Structure 1
């Protein structure tokens, strides 16, 4: 089973487009990013979300995928969503019992990244003083990144006491 780490932008930075929507546990995408969802995610996958805020990177939530909807197969169900993701070609709906919105976001820093070996992020530029840790992590995780089962288990345990 495939799991993803997904970077998102704060709604105020993109004309108040709320996606992912943590109230309705929805996330949607189109184009090549939508194709990644369609081809890699299935019911039972986990998706972890991270964003930049106040010059730091944070993991803010994860969804346990309950539904994977596509406009080709589920157009009516997508149209009835009360979320901005209804404008996307592929929509994921998280399971309420197994998804988590972190009341206390987890700093997505070098300590976390080093444990996520599949990301294979090189901190050489940081060590040489050429680039900040935030830029290194942010640049390396702009696209959807796959996570292993072990990494998912570890991240869930790191998020366990964060509300």
Structure 2
């Protein structure tokens, strides 16, 4: 995995210069540090990612192309274990099937999401709804979080 700051800067430059309607950013440092059992760097990396996401949001709100028209979705591809098993994630590790999702921006009504359980297989359908793109009926696709 390359350092997240490089991924972040590439993504920010793409937003500024190419004005994509959809941008996927895969930050990976925290996961690497987790597998290395380096808790200090794991927490530091998560904190850096928070600041990077804040920078993206501030940029979005300052650019007329994106302002009040953009949604940012932040999630993980898996959770982490609990206690001594925190560096791991696979079926037998309690807690590793739990993650989080943050959605902010245009089209998101926070009242609709209070204590609602969500699943990763709902992300693609949610993005399709936000972009007003017709989705496919793939058997493992979840229902959009906007419905």
Q: TM-score range by the shorter chain?
A: 0.3 to 0.5
- With normalisation by structure 1, the TM-score equals 0.31
- With normalisation by structure 2, the TM-score equals 0.33
Answer with 1 or 2: which has the greater Rg. 2
Higher strand share: 1
Higher relative contact order (CA 8 A, sep 6+): 1
